[in-house]
Each structure stands twice: as C-alpha cells, then as structure tokens.
Amino acid sequence: MPKRTDLETILLIGSGPIVIGQACEFDYSGVQACKALREEGYRVVLVNSNPATIMTDPEFADRTYIEPMTADVLERIIAAEKPQAVLPTIGGQTALNLAIEIAEAGVLERYGVELIGAKLPAIKKAEDRDLFKQAMQSLGLDLPRSGCVRSVEEAERLRAELPLPLIIRPSRTLGGTGGSVALTERDYASQIRRGLEASPTHEVLVEESIAGWKEFELEVMRDAKDNVVIVCSIENLDPMGVHTGDSVTVAPAQTLTDKEYQMMRDAAVRIIREIGVDTGGSNIQFGVHPGDGRLVVIEMNPRVSRSSALASKATGFPIAKIAAKLAIGYTLDELPNDITRSTPACFEPTIDYVVTKIPRFTFEKFPAAHDVLGPQMKSVGEAMAIGRTFKESLQKAMRSLEIGSFGFDAETGVDRDAVIGRLREPNAGRLWVVGQAFRLGMSLEEIHDVTRIDPWFLRNIEEILDFEKHEVTPERFGDLDTPEQRARLAAAKAMGFADVRLAALSGMTEDAIRAARTAAGIACVYKRVDTCGAEFEAHTPYLYSSFDQEDESGVSDRKKIMILGGGPNRIGQGIEFDYCCVHAAFALKEDGVETIMVNCNPETVSTDYDTSDRLYFEPLTLEDLLAIVDRERPDGVIVQFGGQTPLKLAVPLERAGVPIIGTSPDSIDRAEDRERFDEVLNKLELLRPDNGIARTEAEAVAIAARIGYPILVRPSYVLGGRAMEIIYEASELERYVRLAFVASPDRPLLIDRFLEDAIEVDVDAVSDGRDVVIGGIMEHIERAGVHSGDSACSLPPTSIPADVQDEIRRQTIAMARELGVRGLMNMQYAVQGRQVYILEVNPRASRTVPFVSKAIGVPLAKIAARVMAGKTLAEVGFTKEIVPAHVSVKEAVFPFLKFPGVDTMLGPEMKSTGEVMGIADTFGAAFAKAELAAGTLLPDAGTVFVSVRPADREAVAPTARRLRDLGFQLLATRGTAEHLRAEGIPAETVNKVFEGSPHAVDALEAGAVALVIHTPRAEPQDLRDSFSIRRTALERRIPYFTTIAGAVAAAEAIAAQRGGALGVKPLQAYHLTGGA
Amino acid sequence: MSSSTHQVHPARPAILALADGTVFHGTAFGADGETGGEVVFNTAMTGYQEILTDPSYHGQLVAMTYPEIGNVGVNAEDVESRRPFVSGFIVKEYWDPPSNWRAAQSLGDYMAAHGLVGITGIDTRALVRHLRSHGAQEGVISTVDLDPSRLIEQARARPGLVGRDLVADVTCAEPYGWTEPPWQLGQAPGTPPAADGPFIVAYDFGIKYNILRSLVGAGCRVRVVPASTSAADVLAARPDGVFLSNGPGDPDAVPYAREQVAALVGEVPIFGICLGHQILGLALGGRTFKLKFGHHGANHPVLDLTTQKVEITSQNHGFAVDVDSLRGDAELTHVNLNDRTVEGLTHTRAPVFSVQYHPEASPGPHDADYLFRRFVDMIARERG
C-alpha cells in the first residue's frame, strides 16, 4: 500500500528527559522518525521537554515544542496544530503512557486525532498485565505463573498460592522502577507496598521467579498487510533475574537450535498479531528453561525500545525509520533496504559477526546504593562492540566501557569465598568476577552452578583466561620477534585482546606491543555491517574492526574529518555530547567534507549509519583510534565534542602524529593543568578562589589552613564532579584525604576556597582563534556548591547586574583569546556580591551547548565545527551575542527513586541523568514549565513545610510571606517557625524527626504537605537528621527545594502558574529568523 | 571423496582451494581427509545440523556466514536425512563442546564419525564476498595434502554440477512409509497419522525428512519412492496426491524424472518443492538456468502474487526456473523480492503447484507452512 494521503500533520511524542531506563535511544528513534515522515512530505509537530536531544533541533520538525510532557500540554498543542494523527510508539514508555492518557481522556476523539502505529486497545493489551496474560493464554503460550494485585490484602491472598521467591513488578513504570525480588515474607510485604506506590496505576504483578533461566529477546516488525519479520534475536548472558537493560547481551542468540529458535519466532509472530500492533516494531522477551527448553513469554513492548536501538545498530536495519514509514501506510516490501539498495526492507537481517552489549553503571556516584542487580534497571548507559567471534566482541565491549578495564583484569586480593559471593548475587562487576573465578581455578561447572550463566559463554571466557595464563606471559611473548611469538601475538589479537591488556600481562608497554605488531604486520581489518552476511553489496560504510583477513573499508581520498564520540552514557557525559558530535557531522557534511564518526554507544544518533559519511563502531581507546587513523588518514580529528573521553586522548593522539583540529591539546592542557592555568590567570589578571594542590595529607591540611574553611576538594582529572565535596573542618578533610588517596594513589587533590552564597554562572562561547562570540550566559538557581550539571539555570540571567554580566563577557573573551580557542569554550564563574571569580575553563563543548543553542536559536556546535575546519565566525555569520527576549530555564532530572536509601541532597558531585527546558516570556513561567517538565507539579494551594538552617532564616522570610500571600499555610520546625512569627508571618510548629512524633515526616506521610522548603546545614549530623524528610518527599512525590534560591524561584513559578495557564509555543516561533 | 580417521587434535592445518586459484588457510575439524565440491555459502544463523543432512547439498562444500558454529552440538532429532550429505563444511569459528539441553554429540565428533571434513578459522566473509563477485565454483578442502597448487588443480579438474545426475546418489533404494510428525517441544515423536488422511506418494530426489513430517502434520499418509519410479507405478498405488521433493544439482540432468512428472500432470494432484519445482517447470515446458551463487539461507522474502503477502522463506537452490520460459500451462505464483526470480508456479488447469523455496523450513521460518495445508485442500477438492 502506498503512503496515506489523508494525513497532513503528524504529532510525534518524544521521551522527555534522560532517566535510567529511557535514554538517548529515543532521540535516535525520534530523529529517524522525524526524518522519515518529513521525507514523505508530512508536516511534523514534535513535543519533547528535553533540549539536549537532536530531534528538538528546529530543523527536524515543522513545529518543535519544548514543553512539559503532560496531557494538558499535549491537548493544547493538539488544539493549536490540529494534527490528524499522533505517533506514540517512538518516544518510549513516556510517549506511550501519555498517549494512553490523552486517549482515555477523550482528547483524541475531541479533536478527531488518530493514533497511528499502535491503537489504544493494542497498547493496553500489551501493557496491562492481566490483558496480556489473557492474550498469551488464548494463544496457548506459556507464562510464568503470576497474579496482579491492587492492594496489600490481595497480595497476601496471592502469596498463599505462589512459592517464594517472587518477582514484584509495578505496572507501567520506566525501566522496571520499583521492581524487586522477594526472598522472604517480610521482603514481600514491604516490596508490595513500594511497588503499589511506584505504579501510576497502583497495580503490581507478582510472578513466579524464573531466575536462572535463559533469557532471549526478539525484535519484531509488522506492517499493515500483516507481513511480520524478526529483525534480530538477542541472548542475555546474564540469565533471567537481571533486567535486560542491566544484562550483558549478545546478538544473535547463540545457544538455540533452529527448532528452538523457530518455536520462539513463531510465538513472537503470533504475539504481535494477537496484541494487534498495526504497524511498527515491538520487543518481545522470552525465558527458556535450560534443562528442558520450556519457553515462557515474559513481556512485550509495543513500541521501539532500547533493545530495538541495539538491534538496529547490531544489524544495520533501521527499526525506528521503518516503523515510522509503516505507520503512514507503507508496507515492508515497498521500502528499500538502505544498505544493499537493491533488496527490500521486507526480510530478516542475517549477521556474520557477534555483537556484545555491556551496561555501564554508576554506583560510584551513589555510595549508599547497593550494586546488586535485579528486575529494576540501574545502569545509565551501555557500550556495544562488534567482532567476528564472541571472544573478540566481548573483549572489545569491555574496553569500550571506559571504566579503566581493557579486558579481564585481575581483581587483587579477592579470594575464592569472596568470588563465590560476588558470583551468586548479580552485580555490576560480575563479568570480571567470572574471569577472576577462572583465574582462581574454579571449574566451569562450579561457576555455572552459582551464576547459571550458559556454559557456552563461560567456555569462551575460560578460553580467554586460559590463553592469558598460558600464552600471554613474559616468557611466551619474549621480545615478540620469533615466528612462534608473533603467531601467539596474532592469535591473541584475534581473540580480541587489547594491546594494553597484553602489555600488562607480558610485562611490556602498550607502545612496544604496537611496535611489535607493526613489525610483524599484525593489523586489524575493517568489515561492513550489511544486514545480509555479504550476500549483497553494501553501499553504506558502517564498519567494525576485526583481526581477520580481508579489509573492506574502501577509504576515499576526499578531504575528511574524523569526529570522536563520547562512548557510553554516564552521569556527567551523556546525550549533550552526542548532540555536539552529530552537529559537527551535519555541518561538515553540508560543507562537502567527508565525515568519519567513531563511537561505541548504540543508543546514539551519532552511531546511526545515516549521520556521517562513514561510521566506525569502535571502542574509543588509543589503540582502536590509531588503527582507524592509520587506515583513513584524516585531514583533521575533532576531540573536543565528545566530552572527557576523546579529550583525554588528545595528547597521546597528537603525540602519535594525529592531526587534532580546533583548540590545541596544549591549550587544553593550559586550562586543565592547575599550575599552568594559574599562569594564565596571573597574566590576564583574573581571579579565582584561593586554592592549592595537595599530593599528601599533610599538604592538604596545610593548604586548607592557609585558605580557610569551608573548602571544596576533589581529585584531579575527573568528570562530573566525581568525589567532590565541600568540607567545613579539618577532621572531615582528614577522612576525605584518606579515602581519596586510597582511591587514586598517584593523583593529586585539588583544593579550593568554597565561596559561600555565591551565584554560579555558566558561559558558553565560540571562537575562531581571533573573534569570540558569547553563546549564552546562564545564571544558576542553586548556589555555588551544587554541581553545575545538577543546578537549574536561567538564560538570560535573572539577578546578575548588567555591568557584572559585562565583566563576565570581558573575562570570557580575554580567556578565549589567551588560550587560542578554536571552537567551543565553556567557563564557570562564581559571583559573590559584585566580585567575579573564575571556577573553571573547559576549552571544549560543554553540557549546556544544546540548551544554549535552543535558547538563542543558533546551532553553536555546527558553527564551532565549521570554525574548527578553518572558517571564521564572520564567514559562518555568527558575529554577535544573541540575548533573547524570552527566558529559558534548564532543570536537572535525578535518578534517586531508583536507588532506595540514597540521599537526594545536591552537592558538588553530579547526580542528575538528564535535563528539561522551560521556555516562556517570564522567569516564573519558564521555571514553572521546567519544574513541571521535570515531574515536579508545583501546588496551587495547601501547606508548605519550611525548615531552614539558622543562616537562611532571614532569607527565607520573604518567600514564606509570598507563599502565605498566595494562600498557602505554613508549617515550620521550631527555630524557623519562631523566626517567621517574629517577622509577622503566621506559621504552625511541627517537631523535627528526632524530637519525636508527630513530627515533620509524619506530616509528609499523612499527605498534609504540598511543598517542602528545607535547607539543612551542610554538615553530616544535620544531613543525616534531615535525610528522612528529603527521602519521604521524593517517594511521596512532594515538590521539595533544598536551597533558598530554589524556594524563591518556586514561589515565583507558583505565582506565574496561578496567574493563568502556562501557554505553549513552538521553538520556531521564538526564533523567527530560523534555525541552522 | 573424504577419508575418515578422526583425531582430537587442537590445531591440524587445513586448506581450502578454489578453482580460480584462491586459497584459504585454516584448521581442520571433523574428519581428516580431502574432499571437493561446489563451494556455496548459507546465510542462516541457526540450523547447521539440518543443513549438513540436507541431501540437496550433495556435491557441495558449504560455508556458513554466521561465524560461531557448533554451539548447540548435534542431536538425534534435527536430522533431515539418513546421514550428512554436505561434501565439506567451512566455518569461521568451530565450537566444541556444545551447550544445549538437547545436544547429544559435538559437531566435530558427528562429522568425524561420518567422515566429513571441515575447515575452520578462515575469513568466511572474504570467501563469501569472493563467491558473490566471482560466482559459485568448485573447490577442495584438504587436511592431508597442504600443497595449494595441487589442490587448485584438483578443484579445476572437478566436474561441476551442471549436467550431473546427483539425484541417483541420494535417492532411496527402496520405497518406504513415513509416520513421524513435526518436532514439538515436550512431545514424543511417533504419533501415527490419521487413518483416513490423503495418501501421498513422495518422489525422493533427495527428500528432507521435514517435508515428510510436514505432510504427516497436515494429515497425510505418506509413502516415499525412489526417483526412478515410473509414473505408471506411482498411479498404480492409487495415490490421492504426488509430492515432488527437493534434491541436489541440475534439474536438466534428471530427464527421467521430468518425463514421469509430465506423465503425472493432470492425472493426480501434484505439489513440488525446490528440485521438484524445477522438474515440474521443465515438465511443463519451461527452462532452468544456473544462478551465479544461488540462494542458500533462511531470510529470503517471497511475494505470494495471489495474496500480495510476503513470506520469509528458507531457500537452498543453485538453479532456477526461467520466468520467460513460463508460458501456456504454467503460471507464476510466487516471486523472490531480492532478485525477482521465480519462486512458485501453478498449472492453469490441472491441480498442480510448486515452490522453489522450502515451506518445510528446517532450518528457517515457518511462514510458508500453509502450503502443505493447501496441498491437502487441493486434494480434497479433487476428491470432491
């Protein structure tokens, strides 16, 4: 069937901020869908609150709404844009839930809008546990025994029927939030309560535990003619019991015979038909009993998903793009396979390599959280690798993670008992523990008994460890100059060993291994991902390395620039950097330069084979990059867009003769190296907070004494404020220093005077080496001390006087010139009174580049890429700072709900996973939108609980008064209440927690509080006392602010939101002059 | 031909030499020896055991595009004939020991026991790309003679598939009955077919067991007969339908089969698969030709022209019916969406149809399983 002509405008719902379980894979799918629909001539209206996405760039849709993703807002957009259809299957669970909400509220009917891709009954059948179970039973398919409960009483009745352990899954939550395994009666009761709370529908599925079974996923597509294809099969290395997002996964399935695979395929085909997903992709998960092959259906996602992004990258079959085209009426046989060009998209990709994905965790950020894995997803990113064998693919994936591991590194001091313990309970490091277990002499059978990991995977790991032990030794490697030694080296490389790992094992250096390889002619070749196992010619240079025989990279002799991506997402380095890399690719492609992308993150737009001329899906390590450079001989390499990952490699790459373009590695070093940076500051006569570098504990104490407490301390060279703390006294410093120095023995500690009550300011600028143009000045809402990535901010600033802003401009320009910045630069300032201090200079793309670009309507990253490639700012037409008339507010989004027991207090260490943006004509309205978009529904009435530290009592009074005037009741702890009453503001008193019940937490739990303003003293004692207040507020979803500035902004927002509905307005209307 | 003296030896060298002089150095697995055949590649990611035992591969060296082979071993149930018929096996990484709950033996042991020579550790993707651009050609695998130039000479000296009657090598010697239904998880094989189901005589040109199982699954009573059985003998058995099986090699090389099939058309409902389809095409006056590198895999899209729906199919053929030769009684019903070759035909008047691909799958998807039902329905219509 050809495309539908009865549709003109299609509304696409994005997935909102990056959270655990919903990351940039939905930007990838959204970008593909936008492109696919516009290519067909439809008018695309997009809503997504996340400014860091590429899909929200104004050129990807006709109307781009960066607005809170609520049913209300959606209705207003539908009223304004009058779409004929809504495509809800591209924006993850968020979009699907929103679609259900507006459909059930009658909005779609009211405006005559149709859901395309999946209709409401199909979505409900897939998402509602009971309906899904009935559907599977009607097909005669097996499921784990289970029941759905809506109350604690129902749960107890069900408990009598099902044996422990039981899995508890709240309905309709992201990434399995609130899911857990109950081993005991007591766990069961408390987990049921938590699950009921986490579920937006207050429903929990209780299920027979099939932990330890083999786990598989199939990616299925269906078109309007009922053609169904399986795009990819995925086998989880971690058996059932670990969320698939947290599992090491492998494509295709490795341990099924054809009979068993086809049984699963038949089931998948019948499921997608029965559920009634009209068109598009679905992900179906299965469990298989390892002993008898019993097949059970676990669940189905009637939409594109994290796994479909992985499957797209693993096969070269663009699921989201095809899904979008199917949604508007095309059938699979009418769409071409982009890679072969000659064959249709109606087929099942076959792959001739092995794909391994390993999740990336971030438990180091949340020391109070358990790194044990279960049915609730906890990872924040993932790395994927492609190899010709599983061993090669696995070892490439391990070094792609960038956690300092280049393979199965030994875990020193871990004995057998500890290993068995770590094997039994799935955890973030289990893969390495398996290696350690083999190293300690445990047998495959023993490891299998404890982990239930399939012996096929274990055997592969065992072979790697065996090879390490017997072949990669100083004796066996020798000087790598005999034929036997060289054959051994070649064999090691074919198994996927990194040079770094071989060096560590053989007592050589990485350089020596590389030199030996060069001498022996042992180099990787590049092969193509082509969907068809080489049956047809591939026209798309989507490449991966392998130590195999034939190279098919087919390099050109065009002018080419290589862009290094950011690797797996983590807190502090996420989608914002991918945004910059993709923009660089787009801009240079437009300018006729061949672009080469290198990245290993399957969730991203940068690893779409459509984004650059050539894609290398490779680890971002020196060895892997030098190999590509060797083959491609690029004219320039861009390292400043991918975050810290490529930046760290700038110096070694340059030393190896790689042409780095943009700001020179030396300039980067001048900004990063504290002592050299001091010289720069002295030369420019600029200030920064008093500081010092300590290499020993004694030095640290001496420096602190000199500059005075409080101080800000952190280890050097870390991202996202890792291990950064504000310290108020010497005893705390001693504790910190001991921990910090144990953690990283040869890395110095950076100590700064902490500027209390200063306002932090972020500036993004772009320079061509001569001219400097400010992109935007952002005032942080939280005071200095909260990591800039975690702080809400406003562009333009709201409280900084014009002359201070001018001083900031002057300093920024001076710095850019002095460092010879070519490209992007980010500066962070603290403004104390009228005094401006420089906190940090980052001569590279920053996290705020996408936000600023959207706020000012100028694609900064594209401009920077062109400048790096040799153009001047005048040539690209960006010569003057744009200070918009509207206000843009960025707010951070946190994963605290995923980590029970973790404190939500913000500090210098970054903890947010994503961000949202609110745009409006006033600050109050923009902040209200940003809060709403971040999931904080500010109240219009009710009781405000106020409890502030003594230093803030003065400051909180005006806000308290304002809220009182807005009709709120005030409830305060003793000291705060007394102060407020003294100021003539009526406030009721409530006990602090330690003062006994009824206390503040009781009030919160009783639902008597609508808003919390709570600024504890930043001292351990106070923080502990107030922990329960923050945690309760979080779990009860009560808006809470832990800084006075935040409270002021909240009051402003409440006033704005009460003044009338928050309007909606597309980005294109804010920037009438146009985007790129 | 392969000789067999199996040894468990970690790194026995082996060589694959092609007639055009291309040589791949690898390691042996399975039996020791030397073997030759037409080198083809199969793109299915599962089902190597079914592939090894498919008689259609007689005379061919099969390279698997999926690199990890052997993972699930070999079991007693997934065989497609009485023994492996592939002449030699080519993989990127042979895997031993297997990991699967049904595995009874490792692939290498199974191959060794049947004297089947394998080569592993070569760049199979390079081989496939080579075959794709230069076409399928004769090759030799040896683990005993490692002189490349001699092996190339041997490959060049091989006769090739065109014009060779390979069916005679693989067909059964005597007729036999078949009662086993398709494999189902947790169900013991051996349920006898319905006593009143249609009686089918199946020509064995190299028949896969799963065709027989599928016929039984569709309710048929089945008797298998040798390829040389005359039409008169078939009709004397008073079948309700005749099935023409898959098989190896060139359809033009089995004129006797074409003649008998021509005599059966119009006399009895006929269903043909693969070589059976080609023979039917010839019997209806069509021509066949050799494809450059054939279709061997489990992901080929086929459009059913009558329903406009697409089936993902299992395929294994080096020859095809020429679409331009179909006229008169033969009508095109199915077409391959990758290269537009003929995938199915029907007789305009007589109850006769055939497909080039493999509805019995094994390995591959079950999308086309309905064709067995269609055959039975057609017979029912004919019976009134």
pLDDT digits (tens, 9 = 90+) for B230-240: 999 999 999 99
List of chain A residues whose C-beta atoms are within 8 Å of the C-beta of residue B50: 258
Compare all CA atoms of chain B with the CA of A264 and give the residue at the minimum distance. B365
User: What gap in Å lies between CA A591 and CA A361, rounded to an integer?
Assistant: 38
**B360 has catalytic annotation:** yes
Read off the pLDDT of residues A297-342 as tens digits, 9 standing for 90 and up: 999 999 999 999 999 999 999 999 999 999 999 999 999 999 999 9
User: What gap in Å lies between CA A659 and CA A771, rounded to an integer?
Assistant: 23
pLDDT at B4: 33
**Percentage of residues of chain B with pLDDT beyond 90:** 92
Q: With contact defined as beta carbons under 8 Å apart, do A642 and A581 qualify?
A: yes
How close A350 gets to chain B, by Cα (Å)? 7
CB contact under 8 A, B125 and A536: no
Testing the interface with B: which of A535, A548, A551 to mutate, by most B Cβ within 10 A? Answer: A535
B105 at the A interface (CB within 8 A)?
no
CB contact under 8 A, A256 and B99: no
Return the CATH number at B99. Answer: 3.50.30.20
Place of tokens 């076959």: A350
B91 at the A interface (CB within 8 A)?
no
Same domain, B11 and B66: yes
* pLDDT averaged over every residue in chain A: 92
List of chain B residues whose C-beta atoms are within 8 Å of the C-beta of residue A293: 101-102, 185-186
pLDDT at A743: 47
Structural domain contains residue B367: yes
Q: Computed from CA positions of residues A503, A504, A509, A510, in that sequence, does the dihedral angle turn out positive or negative?
A: positive
**B153 has catalytic annotation:** no
Region of poorest pLDDT, from A256-270, A745-759, A881-895, A1037-1051 = A745-759
Confidence of residue A736 (pLDDT cuts 50, 70, 90): confident
Residue A717 has pLDDT above 70, yes or no: no
A479 burial type by CB count under 10 A (0-12 exposed, 13-18 middle, 19+ buried): exposed
Smallest Cα–Cα separation from A432: which of A450, A452, A414? A414
Q: With contact defined as beta carbons under 8 Å apart, do A1044 and A1015 qualify?
A: yes
More confident residue, B179 or A129: B179
B145 at the A interface (CB within 8 A)?
no
Structural domain contains residue B162: no
Long-range contacts of A669-676 (CB under 8 A, 24+ apart): A670/A819, A671/A819, A671/A841, A671/A842, A671/A843, A672/A717, A674/A716, A674/A750
pLDDT at A369: 80
Three-state DSSP state, A875: helix
pLDDT at A909: 84
User: What gap in Å lies between CA A994 and CA A600, rounded to an integer?
Assistant: 50
Same domain, B119 and B227: no
Residue A352 has pLDDT above 90, yes or no: yes
Q: Computed from CA positions of residues A841, A845, A846, A852, in that sequence, does the dihedral angle turn out positive or negative?
A: positive
Domain range holding B296? 167-383
Same domain, B171 and B122: no
List of chain B residues whose C-beta atoms are within 8 Å of the C-beta of residue A317: none
pLDDT at A675: 85
List of chain B residues whose C-beta atoms are within 8 Å of the C-beta of residue A262: 46, 361, 363-366
Confidence of residue B9 (pLDDT cuts 50, 70, 90): very low
Residue B95 has pLDDT above 90, yes or no: yes
CB contact under 8 A, A534 and B65: yes
Same domain, B280 and B374: yes
Same domain, B121 and B211: no
Q: Which of A390, A454, A534 sits opposite B99 (nearest CB)?
A: A454
Task: Provide the token pair at A357.
Answer: 């994905």
User: What gap in Å lies between CA A984 and CA A635, rounded to an integer?
Assistant: 70
Residue A147 has pLDDT above 60, yes or no: yes
Q: Which of A260, A535, A549 sits opposite B43 (nearest CB)?
A: A535
Structural domain contains residue B346: yes
Kind plus residue range of the DSSP H or E element containing A342: none
Smallest Cα–Cα separation from B151: which of B18, B14, B2, B13? B18
Same domain, B148 and B215: no
Phi first, then psi, for residue A973 (nearest 5°) are -75, 165
Residue A918 has pLDDT above 90, yes or no: yes
Residue A367 has pLDDT above 90, yes or no: no
pLDDT at A1024: 67
CA atoms within 13 Å, Cβ hemisphere of A697: 13
Point out the domain boundary residue: B110, B126, B157.
B157
CB contact under 8 A, B128 and A534: yes
Structural domain contains residue B118: yes
- Chain B (214-253) residues lying within 8 Å, Cβ to Cβ, of chain A: none
User: What gap in Å lies between CA B127 and CA A352, rounded to an integer?
Assistant: 12
A256 burial type by CB count under 10 A (0-12 exposed, 13-18 middle, 19+ buried): buried
CB contact under 8 A, A258 and B46: yes
Confidence of residue A39 (pLDDT cuts 50, 70, 90): very high
CB contact under 8 A, A354 and B68: yes
How close A595 gets to chain B, by Cα (Å)? 26
Longest dimension (CA), chain A: 90
List of chain A residues whose C-beta atoms are within 8 Å of the C-beta of residue B122: 549
Confidence of residue B26 (pLDDT cuts 50, 70, 90): very high
Kind plus residue range of the DSSP H or E element containing A459: helix A455-470
Q: How far apart are the first and last CA of chain B?
A: 51
Read off the pLDDT of residues A405-425 as tens digits, 9 standing for 90 and up: 999 998 776 788 889 999 999
Same domain, B192 and B64: no
Please work out, in degrees rounded to the nearest 5, the angle formed at the alpha carbon of residue A772 by the alpha carbons of A768 and A776. 120
B50 at the A interface (CB within 8 A)?
yes
pLDDT at B195: 76
Confidence of residue A201 (pLDDT cuts 50, 70, 90): confident
CB contact under 8 A, A292 and B126: no
Compare all CA atoms of chain B with the CA of A494 and give the residue at the minimum distance. B121
List of chain B residues whose C-beta atoms are within 8 Å of the C-beta of residue A231: none
Same domain, B131 and B216: no
DSSP state of A336: B
Task: Provide the token pair at A708.
Answer: 């005075």
What DSSP string describes A93-115? HHHHHHHHHHHHTTHHHHHT-EE
More confident residue, A251 or A148: A251
More confident residue, A205 or A594: A594
Same domain, B142 and B177: no
What DSSP string describes A534-598? TSS---S-EEEEESSS--------S-EEEEE---S-BTTBSHHHHHHHHHHHHHHHHTT-EEEEE
Q: With contact defined as beta carbons under 8 Å apart, do A595 and A622 qualify?
A: no
Smallest Cα–Cα separation from A800: which of A1045, A1015, A1047? A1045
Q: Which of B65, B122, B309 sits opposite A350 (nearest CB)?
A: B65
ipTM: 0.96
Confidence of residue A145 (pLDDT cuts 50, 70, 90): confident
Q: With contact defined as beta carbons under 8 Å apart, do A499 and A524 qualify?
A: no
User: What gap in Å lies between CA A211 and CA A453, rounded to an integer?
Assistant: 11
Region of poorest pLDDT, from A57-66, A761-770, B99-108, B194-203 = B194-203
pLDDT at B365: 98
Phi-psi region of B219 (alpha: psi -120 to 50; beta: other; left: phi over 0): left
> Can you name the residues that pair with B26 across neighbouring β-strands?
B14
Confidence of residue A167 (pLDDT cuts 50, 70, 90): confident
**B6 has catalytic annotation:** no
**Percentage of residues of chain A with pLDDT beyond 70:** 97
For range B124-144, the mean pLDDT:
97
Catalytic residue, candidates B38, B130, B274, B343: B274
Integer angstrom CA distances of residue A510 from A497, A517, A567, B89: 12, 11, 21, 38
How close B364 gets to chain A, by Cα (Å)? 7
CB contact under 8 A, B132 and A536: yes
Task: Provide the token pair at A657.
Answer: 């003769």
Burial B118-132 (b: 16+ CB within 10 A, else e): bbbbbbbbbbbbbbb
Tell me if the bond preceding B192 is cis, omega within 30° of 0: no
List of chain A residues whose C-beta atoms are within 8 Å of the C-beta of residue B185: 260, 263, 293-295
User: What gap in Å lies between CA B111 and CA B128, rounded to an integer?
Assistant: 23
B308 at the A interface (CB within 8 A)?
yes
More confident residue, A748 or B270: B270
As a 3-state breakdown, chain A gives helix, strand, coil percent values, each rounded to 5, of 40, 20, 40
Structural domain contains residue B52: yes
User: What gap in Å lies between CA A251 and CA A259, rounded to an integer?
Assistant: 18
Confidence of residue B5 (pLDDT cuts 50, 70, 90): very low
Count CB neighbours of A342 within 10 A: 12
Return the CATH number at B307. Answer: 3.40.50.880
Testing the interface with A: which of B24, B62, B100, B340 to mutate, by most A Cβ within 10 A? Answer: B100
Q: How far apart are the first and last CA of chain A?
A: 35
Question: How many Cβ pairs closer than 8 A exist between chain A and B?
Answer: 168
CB contact under 8 A, B299 and A260: no
List of chain A residues whose C-beta atoms are within 8 Å of the C-beta of residue B365: 230, 262, 265, 348
Q: Computed from CA positions of residues A728, A734, A735, A737, in that sequence, does the dihedral angle turn out positive or negative?
A: positive
How close A292 gets to chain B, by Cα (Å)? 6
Testing the interface with A: which of B80, B299, B307, B314 to mutate, by most A Cβ within 10 A? Answer: B299
Same domain, B44 and B130: yes
List of chain A residues whose C-beta atoms are within 8 Å of the C-beta of residue B304: none
Confidence of residue A1076 (pLDDT cuts 50, 70, 90): very low
Compare all CA atoms of chain A with the CA of B307 and give the residue at the minimum distance. A225
List of chain B residues whose C-beta atoms are within 8 Å of the C-beta of residue A256: 46, 72, 100
Residue A946 has pLDDT above 60, yes or no: yes
Read off the pLDDT of residues A114-137 as tens digits, 9 standing for 90 and up: 999 999 999 999 998 889 999 999
Kind plus residue range of the DSSP H or E element containing B367: none
Compare all CA atoms of chain B with the CA of A460 and give the residue at the minimum distance. B95
Q: With contact defined as beta carbons under 8 Å apart, do A852 and A825 qualify?
A: no
CB contact under 8 A, A294 and B46: no
Task: Provide the token pair at A780.
Answer: 């942080």
* pLDDT averaged over every residue in chain B: 94
Point out the domain boundary residue: B157, B182, B202.
B157
CB contact under 8 A, A456 and B71: yes
Same domain, B280 and B342: yes
Question: Structurally, how many domains does chain B consist of?
Answer: 2
Smallest Cα–Cα separation from B300: which of A230, A341, A348? A348
Task: Provide the token pair at A959.
Answer: 């806000």
Point out the domain boundary residue: B127, B157, B187.
B157
Phi first, then psi, for residue A570 (nearest 5°) are -155, 170
Smallest Cα–Cα separation from B319: which of B85, B40, B36? B40
Phi first, then psi, for residue A775 (nearest 5°) are -85, -45
Same domain, B139 and B188: no
How close A263 gets to chain B, by Cα (Å)? 8
Structural domain contains residue B130: yes
CB contact under 8 A, A348 and B50: no
pLDDT at B93: 97
For range A824-846, the mean pLDDT:
94
User: What gap in Å lies between CA A473 and CA A489, rounded to an integer?
Assistant: 11
